[in-house]
Amino acid sequence: MKKKRKLNNYSLEHKKYLKKIKVDKTTTLIAQILIFCAIIGLWELLTATKVLDPFFLSSPSRIFVTLVDTFKNGNLLYHIGITLYETIVGFILATALGTFIAILLWWSNKLRNILDPYIVVLNALPKIALGPVIIIWVGAGTPAIITMCILICIVITTLSMLSSFLSCDKDKIALMKSMGANKFQILFKLILPNSFGEFVSVLKINVGMSWVGTIMGEYLVSKAGLGYLIVYGGQVFKLDLVMSSTVVLCFLACLMYILVGILERKVKRH
Amino acid sequence: MDNYLQLKDVSLSYHTKEKEVLALDNITFSVKKNEYLSIVGPSGCGKTTILSLIAGLLKPSGGEVLLENKPIDKNTTIGYMFQRDHLFEWRTIYKNVILGLELNGKSKDKESIERVDDLLKKYGLYDFKNSYPYQLSGGMRQRAALIRTLALQPKILLLDEPFSALDYQTKLSVCDDVHQIITNEKQTVIAVTHDISEAISMSDRIVVLTNRPSKVKYIQDIKLQDIKTPLKRRESTIFPKYFDLIWKELSNEKKEEVK
Ligand SMILES: Nc1ncnc2c1ncn2[C@@H]1O[C@H](COP(=O)(O)OP(=O)(O)OP(=O)(O)O)[C@@H](O)[C@H]1O
Ligand SMILES: [Mg+2]
């Protein structure tokens, strides 16, 4: 009701402009849906007519059947559960730990200078190379996968948060000091709230990274989970299983990303 | 109370890896209680440094800074305002204004809270108490920042080019507002500025500094107190005379710099 009245107050030119935006948005969406349908349709058509070999490429209908089958015998949910658990635990631990380390490094210039070369090396190192070491240290199982996930996310978390902490306006810090703030107060009343925006972007990056970490971990050691299904499917040439697991993975990663987006909007309103 | 705040032979050097920079060289002047004193000088001469010293954020390399004949320390309440208002965007105006009280464990102190409410009402911000800074105009933000510093009842108020981020029109009216608040609340002020007109219209006295390493070059008394508002003072006949005097002193310094 309110919206409508507002719209009526706009000039004709502005209404046209708004309409154009709306039309643009709809055509983009239609194009996106069409492309999706075309890919699926073509894939199904070419494999059904045996132009392409469904043994190597699987096909949308076969993926669907596999999903329904694995869902019915309870396996799918079990594997999804395992992977979700590992990803979420890794995600939370990495974000919390990474932020905490960033706080320590912000707190002490000395510590920051001392640790600087180590952080550079750790950042440059391809974390997957540590796989065997992790397995030996924490054993081949869920802990190893979570460790891998944390390793992948934590360095970037620490570096992004630290640079955001350090970029806080010097005058704002001087203002706090002139009002008698101690270092704890500067941290909790200025530095942390001031870096909230950066924290949300780190969350978004970590959503993607934690999936990378978990799946990589599962490739290395697991006996269950979506990463395991993909590796197993590949080894026994069950392309249907590989493709189905990948589809589920895409879906879950998107879902988690959307959840963080919703969280962001909720908190931003305050 | 002629020597409310005193700077006695204050000097200060900055140390960097490359060199040592002498910013202040034997600065001596004093401020009376309830006086509004402006500091003008070439850019980079050390004006902000003087304020940081008075605020206790820096220690002098030599000399001393005395407030009521006692050296300034961490427990002296000093109000410091910067070029930008630095209101915290994530706090409401009210929460911003009581920040200082919160930091000193006084946010539950009834007397302080009443004072803040009073200030907000008196200076037209009470209705915006639950708004966020982005919802306020530049002038209102500056007033909020001023109330934030006044909430702690500072012994002295330091202003570092507090109006320079505002456009000209806003600046004139904010100057009037701020002047009124400061006079009402009987504050002692040291203000740094680049704007000679602003300094003359607001101040009781103006200190001109030399190029770095800066010394006190010249002190000018301004006798415009009979005229109430800074805006009206600008229309006074002696205003341009003051302007010429200070302009000359400053431009001599600029020439020195070129040599
Ligand atoms: N932390 C610092 N380390 C080293 N040198 C500094 C530091 N802060 C200021 N300086 C130097 O000391 C001198 C005085 O600085 P200050 O900021 O007090 O000048 P200012 O008069 O406020 O300048 P402006 O007019 O630009 O505001 C400048 O030359 C500056 O380069
Ligand atoms: Mg300055």
Q: Name all residues whose Cβ lies below 6 A of ligand 1.
A: B 14, 16, 21, 23, 43-49, 212
CB-CB contact of B83 with B43 (8 Å): no
Average pLDDT over residues A193-219: 92
Atom of ligand 1 nearest to the CA of B44: 23
Distance CA B224, CA B226 (A): 5
Residues whose CB is less than 8 angstroms from the CB of residue A107 and which lie 6 or more positions away in sequence, other chains included = A183, A187
Structure confidence at residue A2 as a pLDDT band (50, 70, 90): very low
**Partners of residue B141 in chain A, C-beta under 8 Å:** none
**Partners of residue B82 in chain A, C-beta under 8 Å:** 171, 174-175
The pLDDT value recorded for residue B259 is: 60
Structure tokens at A174: 């001087």
Helix (H, G, I), strand (E, B) or coil at A217: helix
Structure confidence at residue B201 as a pLDDT band (50, 70, 90): very high
What one-letter code names the amino acid at B195?
D
The pLDDT value recorded for residue A19 is: 93
Q: What does the angle CA A66 – CA A72 – CA A77 come to, to the nearest 5 degrees?
A: 85
Return the CA Rg of chain A: 25
The pLDDT value recorded for residue A1 is: 43
Q: What is the dihedral of CA B214, B224, B148, A196, to 10 degrees?
A: -60
Nearest CB among B55, B84, B102 relative to A178 is that of B55
Minimal-distance CA residue of chain B relative to A177: B57
Residue of the CA atom closest to atom 3 of ligand 1: B14
Average pLDDT over residues B126-131: 94
Q: How far is B158 from chain A (nearest CA, A)?
A: 10
Query: Which ligand is closest to the CA of B50, given by its number?
Result: 1
What one-letter code names the amino acid at B44?
G
The pLDDT value recorded for residue B28 is: 94
Atom of ligand 1 nearest to the CA of B209: 21
CB-CB contact of B132 with B93 (8 Å): yes
Minimal-distance CA residue of chain B relative to A188: B103
SS3 percent helix, strand, coil of chain B, rounded to 5, is 40, 25, 40
Structure tokens at A197: 């925006």
**pLDDT tens readout for residues A6-37:** 556 788 888 999 999 999 999 999 999 999 99
Structure tokens at B229: 């508002």
For the entire predicted model, the pTM comes to 0.85
The pLDDT value recorded for residue A110 is: 96
Q: How far is A180 from chain B (nearest CA, A)?
A: 7
Pocket test for ligand 1, best of B10, B21, B159, B193 (most atoms within 8 A of CB): B21
Distance CA A151, CA A137 (A): 14
Distance CA A122, CA B26 (A): 50
Residues whose CB is less than 8 angstroms from the CB of residue B190 and which lie 6 or more positions away in sequence, other chains included = B5, B31, B37, B38, B39, B50, B51, B54, B156, B157, B158, B159
Number of CB atoms found within 10 A of residue B52's CB: 20
Atom of ligand 1 nearest to the CA of B43: 25
Distance CA B2, CA B162 (A): 26
Decide if pLDDT at A73 tops 90. no
- Ion ligand 2 neighbours (CB, 5 A) are B 48
ipTM for the whole complex: 0.89
Helix (H, G, I), strand (E, B) or coil at A247: helix
Structure confidence at residue B66 as a pLDDT band (50, 70, 90): very high
**pLDDT tens readout for residues B74-95:** 778 899 999 899 999 999 999 9
Could you tell me what percent of chain B has a pLDDT over 70? Answer: 98
CB of A194 within 8 Å of any CB in chain B?
Answer: yes
Number of CB atoms found within 10 A of residue A209's CB: 21
Q: What does the angle CA B224 – CA B4 – CA B26 come to, to the nearest 5 degrees?
A: 95
Give the DSSP per-residue string, B12-81.
EEEE-SS-EEEEEEEEEEEE-TT-EEEEE-STTSSHHHHHHHHTTSS--SEEEEEETTEE--TTS-EEEE
**pLDDT tens readout for residues A103-131:** 999 999 999 999 999 999 988 998 888 88
Of the ranges A219-223, B238-242, B244-248, which one carries the lowest mean pLDDT score? A219-223
- Residue B214 is given by DSSP the state B
